[in-house]
Amino acid sequence: MFESLAEHGQQPRAMVVACADSRVDPGMIFDAGPGELFIVRNIAALVPPYAPDGAYHGTSAALEFGVRVLEVRDLVVLGHGLCGGVRGLLHGVPDTARDFVASWIAIAASVRPLALACDSPEEQQLRGEHEVVKLSLTNLRRFPWIAEREAAGHLTLHGAHFDVRTGLLALLGDNGQFAAAG
Ligand SMILES: [Zn+2]
C-alpha cells in the first residue's frame, strides 16, 4: 500500500480540520486509511481569519495545500465533546497556556457570549463546541479560493461534532443544527 502511495502520490478526496485532542482521531472516526484524508489538527479545530501576511499560519498553509494543490472535494470541520480548547474559551486558559493558546482561541471570542447564555455548564460547553465549528466554517468561506470552489460546486464544506463519551458523530445540517450521522 505504501509503495503504491509513494509511487502515485497522495490523492486524498477529503480534508479535515480537527482538534489536537488525543481522543479525536479523524482517521478512526471516518474509517480512513493512509492516503485518504488530508488532516490538519490544532487547538479546538479553529480556522483563523484569512490573513496572507507572512506570519506563521500553519493551519492556513495546510488549507492552501489541501484545497489548491491537492484539490480535495470535501472539507470537514470536526469539533468534539469535552474540548479543552472550548473550555478555555469559555472559562479562561491555564496560566501555563498564555504564550500561544490564549490568543489562538481568541479567534472564537464571538462564540463566548452565545455559549454562556445557555443554562447549564454542560449546555454551555456543547453550544460552544457547536458554535466554534460554525465559526470555522464561516472563516473558511472567507478564503477566496475556498469560496470560489464552493460556488463552482468543486468543493463541499461540512461541519461535524464527535462525542468522545459515546463515540457518536453528529453532522451540521442546513438548518444550523447538529444531528446524529446516518
Ligand atoms: Zn478539543
Calculate Rg over the CA atoms of the chain: 16
pLDDT in the model for residue 161: 98
pLDDT in the model for residue 87: 98
Angle at CA of residue 10, ends 67 and 139, nearest 5°: 20
Give the distance (Å) from ligand 1 centre to CA of residue 24.
8
Give the distance (Å) from ligand 1 centre to CA of residue 181.
20
Give the distance (Å) from ligand 1 centre to CA of residue 153.
30
Query: Rounded to an integer, what distance in angstroms lies between the CA atom of residue 83 and that of residue 124?
Result: 12
Give the distance (Å) from ligand 1 centre to CA of residue 150.
26
Across 20-128, where does the E strand assignment appear?
Answer: 37-42, 74-80
Per residue in 58-78, pLDDT (tens digit) is: 999 999 999 999 999 999 999
pLDDT in the model for residue 173: 97
- Global pTM reads 0.96
Q: At 17, list the grid cell.
A: 480540520
Give the distance (Å) from ligand 1 centre to CA of residue 9.
30
Give the distance (Å) from ligand 1 centre to CA of residue 94.
15
Per residue in 147-166, pLDDT (tens digit) is: 999 999 999 999 999 999 99
Give the distance (Å) from ligand 1 centre to CA of residue 84.
5
Give the distance (Å) from ligand 1 centre to CA of residue 5.
30
| pLDDT by residue, tens only, the chain of 182 residues | 889 889 988 999 999 999 999 999 999 999 999 999 999 999 999 999 999 999 999 999 999 999 999 999 999 999 999 999 999 999 999 999 999 999 999 999 999 999 999 999 999 999 999 999 999 999 999 999 999 999 999 999 999 999 999 999 999 999 999 999 87
The answer to whether 133 touches 77, Cβ cutoff 8 Å, is yes
pLDDT in the model for residue 73: 98
pLDDT in the model for residue 1: 87
> For residue 53, with 0-12 CB atoms within 10 Å meaning exposed, 13-18 middle and 19 or more buried, which class applies?
exposed
